[in-house]
């Protein structure tokens, strides 16, 4: 597995779109992104041989899409297979955890998270390989297999079949999963869906669940969503969500939500945490975001959390974003939580500002407050720049001391390479 990950990472860094294709065959569009994080913390437990190596995490993603003819925008070519091209994607990560060798063969782990291909033939679409999907359910889950669907006017039917439950070092899981879904677009801007998903583990009883969802969009500024998942065997509600979103003014966004989740039922088969999972959790809250001026944004988020009387708590978060000029942002955020055992608070101050050319600097400080304990915090200062187009580098120094986080004085280095895709890191403090 490690050799495959290293090979894919090397391909992502050295990918080349190649020479231009003839005019009658549009060239393949490439999108490549790779990242490497290095973290050196002197307080990290050394390896058995006494060496203290940095923690490292490498990520990459490569997407290739077949080019489309220039006239694919015409309605007459909407179902033309040439206008819905083949798409392929590969994504993986590889990491090194210092001091992990006593618990494994070595401290290097990794996983191929996505390796898929998707195409469309008229109203039918097909996607195969290791990919993520919601067909038949409510949450995105990873599947090593095939998903497919067909559009029939206002109705779309989709299905999935494959293996799930693989560990990072495994090629495929051992649990068979299959299911289907029907989606309908009704008048009055109402969309409804019903799906069923069945999982047959290798060493346990099968699990079948139904998911029902609705989405109502009466206008561009109002939307309502609701969804629920029930287990057939347990005859119990596994998960439910309700969301209401509104934009009463161009500068004001409102959202209310309610959530319910049976944690033990959401964990995968064989997960020992299911035995110790907490009771069902519920959350009811709302948030508001107001762009008071073009340079000032205000945010407020509050929620009631809990199901049982002895497990009720709450959360309040307020934040301010100040954007005085392009590339500059300052954030002040305060969060308070209250639970059955303790009350906590977190104060965050962060900023990002250009220095010269592509060089910019960042600062961030977190103040941590836990009832009955001494206050603590973490601070980070760093700088980043683009040495070449599509390449990005960032370095920072961290200092922390808190009851929640172990004392540390650590360095962080990040490198990012993008080909055919914008560099995303560093957009916010």
Alpha-carbon span 60 to 221, nearest angstrom: 37
Q: Is residue 182 part of a domain?
A: yes
Q: What is the pLDDT of residue 225?
A: 96
The residue among 213, 245, 269 that closes a domain is 213
pLDDT band at 9 (very low <50, low <70, confident <90, very high): very low
Alpha-carbon span 368 to 342, nearest angstrom: 13
Please state the rounded mean pLDDT for residues 65-89. 66
**Claim to verify: residue 102 and residue 12 sit in the same structural domain:** yes
- Tell me how many domains the chain contains: 2
Q: What is the pLDDT of residue 129?
A: 94
Is the pLDDT assigned to residue 324 strictly greater than 90?
A: yes
Q: What is the pLDDT of residues 121-148, one digit of tens each?
A: 888 999 999 999 999 998 888 999 999 9
pLDDT band at 357 (very low <50, low <70, confident <90, very high): confident
Q: Is residue 261 part of a domain?
A: no
Lowest mean pLDDT among 66-80, 214-228, 310-324: 66-80
SS3 per residue for 27-56: CCEEEEEEEEEEEECCCCCCCCCCCCCCEE
Please state the rounded mean pLDDT for residues 354-360. 90
The residue among 95, 117, 139 that closes a domain is 117
Q: What is the pLDDT of residue 381?
A: 95
In the block, which residue shows the tokens 């869906």? 193
Report the SS3 class of residue 121: strand
Lowest mean pLDDT among 135-139, 260-264, 400-404: 400-404
Is the pLDDT assigned to residue 92 strictly greater than 90?
A: yes
Q: Is residue 165 part of a domain?
A: yes
**Claim to verify: residue 71 and residue 152 sit in the same structural domain:** no
pLDDT band at 202 (very low <50, low <70, confident <90, very high): confident
Following DSSP, what letter does each residue of 111-141 receive, concatenated? Answer: EEEEEEEEEEETTEEEEEEEEEE-TTSSS-E
**Claim to verify: residue 89 and residue 132 sit in the same structural domain:** no
Q: Which residue has the higher pLDDT, 318 or 308?
A: 318
311 phi/psi in degrees, rounded to 5: -135, 35
102 phi/psi in degrees, rounded to 5: -60, -20
| Beta bridge partners of residue 93, listed in sequence order | 59, 111
Q: Is residue 317 part of a domain?
A: no
Q: What is the pLDDT of residue 401?
A: 84
For the chain, give the mean pLDDT. Answer: 83
Which residues, 6+ apart, have CB-to-CB distance to 297 below 8 Å? 289, 290, 291, 320, 321, 323
- The percentage of the chain sitting over the pLDDT mark of 90, rounded to a whole number, equals 46
Alpha-carbon span 152 to 184, nearest angstrom: 10
The token pair that represents 374 in the structure block:
């001494």
Please state the rounded mean pLDDT for residues 57-69. 85
**Claim to verify: residue 39 and residue 107 sit in the same structural domain:** yes
Please state the rounded mean pLDDT for residues 233-251. 91
**Claim to verify: residue 72 and residue 168 sit in the same structural domain:** no
**Claim to verify: residue 15 and residue 97 sit in the same structural domain:** yes
Cα distances (Å, whole numbers) of residue 245 to 88, 257, 408: 34, 9, 42
**Claim to verify: residue 177 and residue 80 sit in the same structural domain:** no
Q: Is residue 88 part of a domain?
A: yes
The token pair that represents 100 in the structure block:
């992990």
Is the pLDDT assigned to residue 1 strictly greater than 50?
A: no
pLDDT band at 258 (very low <50, low <70, confident <90, very high): very high
Q: What is the pLDDT of residue 311?
A: 74
Is the pLDDT assigned to residue 10 strictly greater than 60?
A: no
Is the pLDDT assigned to residue 208 strictly greater than 60?
A: yes
In the block, which residue shows the tokens 């340079």? 295
Is the pLDDT assigned to residue 335 strictly greater than 90?
A: yes
- The percentage of the chain sitting over the pLDDT mark of 70, rounded to a whole number, equals 79
Is the pLDDT assigned to residue 23 strictly greater than 90?
A: no
Q: What is the pLDDT of residue 4?
A: 40
Whole-model pTM? 0.78
**Claim to verify: residue 10 and residue 39 sit in the same structural domain:** yes
**Claim to verify: residue 109 and residue 208 sit in the same structural domain:** no
Alpha-carbon span 63 to 131, nearest angstrom: 13
**Claim to verify: residue 6 and residue 108 sit in the same structural domain:** yes
Q: What is the pLDDT of residue 12?
A: 41
Which residues, 6+ apart, have CB-to-CB distance to 7 below 8 Å? none
Q: Is residue 419 part of a domain?
A: no
Please state the rounded mean pLDDT for residues 185-191. 89
Q: How many CA atoms lie within 13 A of 312 on its CB side?
A: 6
Q: Which residue has the higher pLDDT, 114 or 50?
A: 114
Which residues, 6+ apart, have CB-to-CB distance to 271 below 8 Å? none
**Claim to verify: residue 110 and residue 207 sit in the same structural domain:** no
**Claim to verify: residue 23 and residue 60 sit in the same structural domain:** yes
pLDDT band at 312 (very low <50, low <70, confident <90, very high): confident
Q: Is residue 256 part of a domain?
A: no
Alpha-carbon span 299 to 332, nearest angstrom: 10
Please state the rounded mean pLDDT for residues 22-26. 53
Lowest mean pLDDT among 137-141, 351-355, 423-427: 423-427
The residue among 89, 117, 145 that closes a domain is 117
Lowest mean pLDDT among 68-77, 268-277, 352-361: 68-77
Q: Is residue 131 part of a domain?
A: yes
Please state the rounded mean pLDDT for residues 389-400. 90
Q: What is the pLDDT of residue 194?
A: 96
Is the pLDDT assigned to residue 273 strictly greater than 70?
A: no
38 phi/psi in degrees, rounded to 5: -125, 130
Q: What is the pLDDT of residue 55?
A: 83
| Domain around 164 | 123-213
Q: What is the pLDDT of residue 100?
A: 58
Lowest mean pLDDT among 114-128, 145-159, 219-233, 405-419: 405-419
């Amino acid at each position: 597995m490690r050799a495959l990950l290293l090979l894919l990472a090397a391909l992502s860094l050295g990918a080349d779109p190649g020479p231009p294709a003839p005019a009658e065959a549009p060239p393949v569009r490439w999108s490549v992104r790779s990242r490497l994080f290095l973290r050196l913390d002197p307080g990290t437990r050394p390896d058995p041989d006494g060496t203290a190596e940095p923690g490292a995490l490498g990520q990459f993603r490569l997407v290739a899409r077949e080019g489309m003819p220039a006239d694919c925008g015409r309605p007459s070519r909407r179902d033309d297979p040439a206008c819905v091209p083949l798409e392929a994607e590969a994504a993986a990560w590889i990491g090194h955890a210092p001091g992990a060798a006593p618990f494994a063969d070595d401290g290097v782990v990794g996983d191929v998270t996505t390796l898929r291909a998707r195409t469309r033939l008229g109203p039918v679409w097909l996607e195969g390989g290791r990919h993520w999907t919601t067909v038949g359910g409510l949450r995105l889950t990873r599947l090593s297999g095939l998903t497919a669907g067909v559009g029939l006017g206002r109705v779309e039917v989709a299905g999935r079949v494959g293996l799930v439950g693989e560990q990072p070092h495994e090629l495929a899981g051992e649990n068979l999963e299959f299911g289907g879904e029907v989606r309908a677009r009704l008048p009055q801007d109402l969309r409804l869906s019903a799906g069923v998903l069945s999982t047959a583990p290798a060493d346990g009883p099968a699990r079948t669940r139904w998911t029902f969802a609705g989405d109502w969009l009466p206008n561009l500024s109002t939307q309502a969503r609701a969804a629920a998942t029930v287990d057939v065997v347990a005859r119990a509600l596994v998960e439910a969500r309700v969301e209401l979103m509104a934009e009463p003014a161009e500068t004001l966004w409102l959202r209310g939500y309610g959530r319910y989740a049976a944690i033990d039922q959401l964990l995968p088969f064989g997960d020992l945490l299911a035995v110790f999972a907490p009771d069902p959790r519920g959350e009811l809250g709302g948030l508001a975001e107001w762009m008071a001026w073009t340079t000032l944004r205000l945010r407020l988020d509050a929620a009631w959390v809990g199901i049982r009387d002895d497990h009720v708590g709450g959360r309040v978060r307020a934040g301010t974003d100040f954007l005085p000029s392009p590339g500059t942002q300052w954030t002040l955020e305060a969060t308070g939580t209250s639970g059955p055992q303790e009350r906590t608070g977190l104060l965050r101050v962060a900023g990002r500002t250009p220095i010269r050319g592509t060089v910019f600097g960042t600062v961030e400080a977190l103040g941590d407050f836990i009832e009955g304990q001494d206050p603590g915090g973490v601070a980070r200062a760093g700088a980043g720049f683009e040495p070449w187009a599509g390449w990005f580098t960032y370095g920072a120094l961290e200092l922390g001391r808190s009851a929640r986080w172990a004392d540390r004085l650590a360095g962080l280095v990040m490198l990012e390479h993008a080909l055919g895709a914008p560099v995303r890191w560093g957009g916010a403090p």
